[in-house]
Structure 1
Amino acid sequence: MNKKLKTIIMIAVLALVFYGIYSIGLIDTLKDFDKFQALIKDAGSLGYVIYILIFVVAAVFSLPASVITISGGIVFGPVLGALLALLGATIGAVAAFLVARYIARGFIVDKFGKNAMFQKVEEGVEKNGKDFLILTRLVPVFPYNIQNYAYGVTNINLFTYAIITFITMAPGAFVYAYMAGEIAQNGITTSFFIKLLIAGIVLFGASQVPKIFAKRKGINMETINK
């Protein structure tokens, strides 16, 4: 089969999948905490699988994931919810990466290859390899969902991408899902405020890591932000 025709078919399939997702109201559900939580709870033991699959759908189609992360903590509890949120976010990021690399690569390069953000990612990977990936995952200079596709058309290794994504997404996933689950289970207590303070310190510490990392690796942060 002609490579261009294959790409067109794959994109058409993705478009049909998105239409199906839109038709069943999943996008509206993702915007509504109560509806989303009901969807997961009503699924019983399949809720775990559905939760992760929804994360994959959100990543592939660049849908908002904040409701998914927070709802995970509320529905599954602080610890399990945080773990599932991190696992789902990582698998979703890898799925979008694979779509960009093996399914829609030609389309993405043709349509977005000259985009400033895509060019910065490509140049950053060429000059700094995985160090640039670590930095852009820690500092959300570019939207996470767009990064998945941008890195998919670079030469970065899939395994490296998956591991770094998992590690760098961990602080945010745990803090948001864990805190949401803690409130749902125990309400606003003294213990919660202590944990919230610890979470704030963790996030602050995580925000300082990129500056130190960039300085040690000789990466100019100002160039990325422009």
Structure 2
Amino acid sequence: MVIIFKKISILVIVLVVAFLLYHSKVGQLLLSGDVDLIARHVESYGWKAIILMFLAIFIQAFFPYLPFIILAGVSVLLFGFYFGFIISWIATSLGAIAAFLTARYIAREWAENKVGASPYFKKFNTFTSNHGFKTILVSRIIAVVPSSLINLAAGISRLKGRSFILATWIGNLWVAFIESLLGHYLIHFEKHSGKLLIILVILLAIYLFVKRKGIFGKNGD
């Protein structure tokens, strides 16, 4: 009975997301990646735009097909930088936690089929055994691996739930801020091209440093 419930839950989730993405105007606009068109359409919903953006960012935590930077840019364009950033941070964090819990308790078999055979998962699972909080935090901050992959991999790993949740809230605070900032600067590229270049250089430097040192340094500390 539990197995049947899990399979039905997975099917319902997949069907709902597929409908939202491919059979609704909002979904098609999100897949197009046109920030201005997305923003204008979402804005036409009035106060419901907040709920719509929250749900779009929440769902993005399950699937890698919607770039977070586009959604963060739309959120900032619609609601201003600070409020847009807060919406993005809360929605992406809650979405990540929901994806983690789904992979662990509802759709574990599906999650294992998606990421279980990945070389990334094997390394990830080894790290989370001894450095769970640090692994998730660094993975979030460097933002090289898609968030959805981190969520699913964490769900089927030996990582403790509280470590994932805490590291996700902290790590996504940085990610949501940076991606909201990048989205804002990309929308107003002519005005902020210099600032955008500086941020990209800093992010590249952080990535190269982390890659050179390894997630836990040379000695795994």
TM-score of the superposition, structure 2-length normalised? 0.80
1:130 and 2:144 correspond = no
2:105 paired residue number: 102
* Distance in 1 (alpha carbons) for counterparts of 2:13 and 2:90: 23
Q: Given that residues 69 and 173 in structure 1 are in contact (C-alpha distance below 8 angstroms), is that contact kept between their aligned partners in structure 2?
A: yes
Q: Given that residues 171 and 202 in structure 1 are in contact (C-alpha distance below 8 angstroms), is that contact kept between their aligned partners in structure 2?
A: no
1:177 paired residue number: 180
Instruction: Rate the CA distance shift 1:164–1:202 in 2: closer, same or farther, 3 A.
Output: farther
Deviation at 1:55, TM superposition (A): 0.6
Deviation at 1:85, TM superposition (A): 1.8
Q: Which has the higher relative contact order, 1 or 2, with Cα contacts under 8 A spaced 6 or more apart?
A: 1
2:151 paired residue number: 148
* Distance in 1 (alpha carbons) for counterparts of 2:183 and 2:117: 40
* Distance in 1 (alpha carbons) for counterparts of 2:144 and 2:178: 20
Deviation at 1:169, TM superposition (A): 2.8
Deviation at 1:202, TM superposition (A): 5.7
User: Which of 22, 34, 37 is the aligned partner of 1:35?
Assistant: 37
Deviates more, 1:171-180 or 1:99-108: 171-180
2:168 paired residue number: 165
Partner-residue secondary structure (3-state), 1:60 = coil
Q: Given that residues 70 and 183 in structure 2 are in contact (C-alpha distance below 8 angstroms), is that contact kept between their aligned partners in structure 1?
A: no
2:49 paired residue number: 47
Deviation at 1:54, TM superposition (A): 0.6
Instruction: Rate the CA distance shift 1:56–1:183 in 2: closer, same or farther, 3 A.
Output: closer
Partner-residue secondary structure (3-state), 1:214 = coil
Q: Given that residues 86 and 170 in structure 1 are in contact (C-alpha distance below 8 angstroms), is that contact kept between their aligned partners in structure 2?
A: yes
Unaligned ranges ≥5, structure 2: none
1:224 paired residue number: none
Look up the equivalent residue of 1:169 and give its one-letter code.
Answer: N
1:56 and 2:58 correspond = yes
Unaligned ranges ≥5, structure 1: 221-226
* Distance in 2 (alpha carbons) for counterparts of 1:188 and 1:57: 31
Q: Given that residues 99 and 152 in structure 2 are in contact (C-alpha distance below 8 angstroms), is that contact kept between their aligned partners in structure 1?
A: yes
1:26 and 2:26 correspond = yes
* Distance in 2 (alpha carbons) for counterparts of 1:146 and 1:50: 23
Q: Given that residues 73 and 180 in structure 2 are in contact (C-alpha distance below 8 angstroms), is that contact kept between their aligned partners in structure 1?
A: yes
Look up the equivalent residue of 2:17 and give its one-letter code.
Answer: F
Deviation at 1:175, TM superposition (A): 2.8
1:223 paired residue number: none
* Distance in 1 (alpha carbons) for counterparts of 2:160 and 2:108: 15
1:219 paired residue number: 220
Deviation at 1:81, TM superposition (A): 1.7
* Distance in 1 (alpha carbons) for counterparts of 2:190 and 2:90: 27
* Distance in 1 (alpha carbons) for counterparts of 2:199 and 2:69: 17
The number of residues matched between the two structures is: 215
Cα RMSD (Å): 3.0
Q: Given that residues 18 and 61 in structure 1 are in contact (C-alpha distance below 8 angstroms), is that contact kept between their aligned partners in structure 2?
A: no
Deviation at 1:198, TM superposition (A): 6.5
Partner-residue secondary structure (3-state), 1:156 = coil
1:55-134 equivalence runs, <5 A: 55-64=57-66, 65-109=68-112, 112-134=115-137
Deviation string 1:71-105 (CA, Å, 9 cap, x unpaired) is 11211112222222222221221221122112101
1:16 and 2:15 correspond = yes
TM-score of the superposition, structure 1-length normalised? 0.78
1:139 paired residue number: 142
* Distance in 1 (alpha carbons) for counterparts of 2:130 and 2:189: 48
